[in-house]
Structure 1
Amino acid sequence: MTARERVAKEGPSGRPTINDIARLAGVSKKTVSRVINESQFVKEDTRRAVQAIIQETGYVPDPQARGLAFRRSFLVGLIYDNPNAQHTIDHQQGLLEAMAGTGFELVVRRVDRTSPTLLEDMRAFIERQKLFGVVLPSPVSEEERLVSLLKALDRRYVRISSTPLDQPDRMVVSHDGKGAAQAAHHLAGLGHSHIALISGQEGRRSSSVRMKGFEEGLAEHGLTLDPNLVRRGAYTYESGVAAARELLALKPRPTAIFCLNDEMAAGAYLAARERGLVVGADISIVGFDDAPMASRLWPTMTSVRLPLRQMGRIAGEMLTSDTLHDKPPTPREIVPELIVRNSTVALRP
């Protein structure tokens, strides 16, 4: 009878527990715990025997139980509020990569930043899950009240933002403004001067930072952003369609549109086609983020690449590195990169 079969027959739930591993390996529960946590105080032959039983039975340590043993949790929270699902997915994948093999597990929680019970809900969530630490992507990273709560609860955190908001060892900074400036240089270099912009929601730091960076980039070419050519979007496809319809109805219409994310840029594609315009010929469109859709649309979209997955991985490493390797987290900064494709073209004389 295999170890797995013995557990299924003898265990009360059929699922292996640390007590089952100890019994099958002929060692104490404490020894099993030491093997799981890679303690150096275990003989090599004992370690191999315990690991073999763990592998055969499919035993998975309970992170909450490990937290009790170590007097801390092995759970990391990702708290987000973003209408763009791809952002969250990419951050989540990066975090999972960073935590692979560390014993840490990820708990994902969406919040509403405008909720009057935000802090009460977050306190209950953090204490109920006994979180070791939290990653705060934009725009949640801008919530100083939430950061103050994390400090009061003595929880570690890392913030992901387009600009520095905190101490370097608590930040992953993406420098969105520099990416937007690259978009401005590109369009100006193609001869465009009558350029429109579709922004994000009011109050979103990323929107204001990207818009400022774009204006600074234009200024280096002696150009200014005409306020009459600016429309507010909401980082959604639908808002991009609506804003671009207004812009393309103007006389004269803009020859290029910079959208502060790819969702809105995809919406601008539709608005252009409704008016019989060919993207990449009659109108140039630039997005931001370089989401998967940017290379799947036709024509393929010129976009500012923001490495969201990499940013999530860095945040995960920063959050857990000192506990795993006895060294302080390393502050990291990211510079976006413009990816030129077929949605932009030189202005015809």
Structure 2
Amino acid sequence: MTTNTPTINDVARLANVSKKTVSRVINKSPLLSEKTRTVVEQVIADLGYVPNPQARALALRHNFVIAVIHDNPNAQFLVKVQQGILEGIDGTEFGMMVQPVDRNSPTVVDSIRRFLELHRPYGVVLLPPISANEELIELCRRFGCRYVRMASVELDEPQHMVTSNDREAVCDAVGYLVEMGHRRIGLIEGPPGFLSAAERRLGYEQAMKAADIAVDPELIRPGAYTFESGVTAALSLLNGDKRPTAIFASNDEMAVGVMIAARQVGVEVPDGLSIVGFDDTPMSNHVWPALTTVRWPIVGMARAAARKLIARPGDAPVEETLLPSSLMKRGSVARLSPSD
């Protein structure tokens, strides 16, 4: 049985080059003259030749897949990361896969090693908090696996990092609450082990210090970046001896939990309690009143991470290393009256 499907041999013959040269063109090697590259690319286009992805993966000893490795309970965060990755690889030969892990497992690094050996991804995007695991980074280096880390602080060289300015953004958000007359400002933190949680607390403390307001431990509660933890923390604050007039929750899911808790105890938002979240997820505009929140550039960070990962020698550099967050002022914050 014969087939008219063009092969790499056909391309090499018509372009009068070797199969190895054709392969280098396909893989965008810089070790070619522009004239040779142009000739081979024209023959590929004329023949309608499509490289065999399995054969390429076997020859290059990796698949054309970007693996997203995460241990993050925030579903909205993961959706936005996947959107950004897909935007970053749009129009390329790359695909995406997602691999959840348990960062607290004593075998987490061994599990990721087995994953890399089995699937041979082209590279990995490491999400917080797993991106801060230096043992995992060393594994990627030993394995020869490309990687880019997303985090709220610089952890690595620029080609391996995409960073957000969480501390500065939270400082601005809490500063806005101060401008609106609030001084008893509660904080619901993110979970232990997340650099983002630590950075956001530091931003809260920095804003309070700048306003000459003492940080009161009785106005701070732990959270887990989940709706349920936001409800629990807010009920504790609102039923305490020092009820806050405003609460900064370290992500939107917890901030929406604060809204529900306020209704449970009969506190009006924003007149009785102002609320600010972090992320600017879709839910922030789907609640009433609409949530004032920090727009975290998750999609842009993930898009930049993917582009850094698939960049080849000679490509224009991906400049986005630090992507700024911004405050979205909506209806969940009100100016505090002097009598409150």
Shorter chain as denominator, the TM-score bin is: 0.7 to 0.9
Q: What letter corresponds to residue 342 of structure 1 in structure 2?
A: G
1:40 aligns with 2:24: no
Change (3 A) 1:20 1:245: farther
Please state how far the C-alpha of 1:331 moved relative to its aligned partner.
Answer: 5.6
2:159 to 169, 192, 216: 169
**Do 1:168 and 1:331's aligned partners in 2 also have CA atoms closer than 8 Å?**
no
How far residue 105 of structure 1 moved from its aligned partner, in angstroms, is 1.8
- Residue equivalent to 1:275: 265
Note if 1:263 corresponds to 2:260: no
Instruction: Describe how 1:25-36 pairs up with structure 2 within 5 A.
Output: none
- For residues 288-303 of structure 1, the aligned pairs below 5 Å read 288-303=278-293
Give the alignment partner of residue 335 of structure 1, picking from 324, 330, 340: 324
Q: Secondary structure at the match of 2:212?
A: coil
Q: Is the 8 A contact 1:184 1:215 kept in 2?
A: no
Moved more, 244-253 or 172-181: 244-253
The CA deviation at 1:234 is 0.6
Distance 1:235 1:44 in 2: 49
Measure how far apart 1:317 and its partner are: 1.0
Q: Distance in 1 between matches of 2:40 and 2:320?
A: 38
> Unaligned regions of 5+ residues in structure 2, if any?
14-18, 29-35
C-alpha distance in 1 between matches for 2:220 and 2:138: 35
Structure 2 residue identity aligned to 1:302: T
Separation in 2, partners of 1:146, 1:180: 29
Gaps of 5+ in 1: 1-9, 12-18
- Does residue 228 of the first structure (1) align with residue 218 of the second (2)? yes
Deviation at 1:254, TM superposition (A): 0.7
Cα distance in 2, alignment partners of residues 201 and 334 from structure 1: 23
Partner of 2:5: 21
Alpha-carbon shift at residue 40 of structure 1 (Å): 2.4
In 1: Cα distance, 2:25 partner to 2:122 partner: 22
CA displacement at 1:226 relative to structure 2? 0.9
Identity of aligned residues (%): 43
**Alignment partner, residue 233 of structure 2:** 243
* RMSD of equivalent CA atoms: 2.6
Partner of 2:144, secondary structure, is coil
3-state secondary structure, aligned to 1:96: helix
Closer/same/farther in 2, CA of residues 247 and 43 from structure 1, 3 Å limit: closer
Aligned residue number for residue 174 of structure 2: 184
Change (3 A) 1:63 1:129: farther
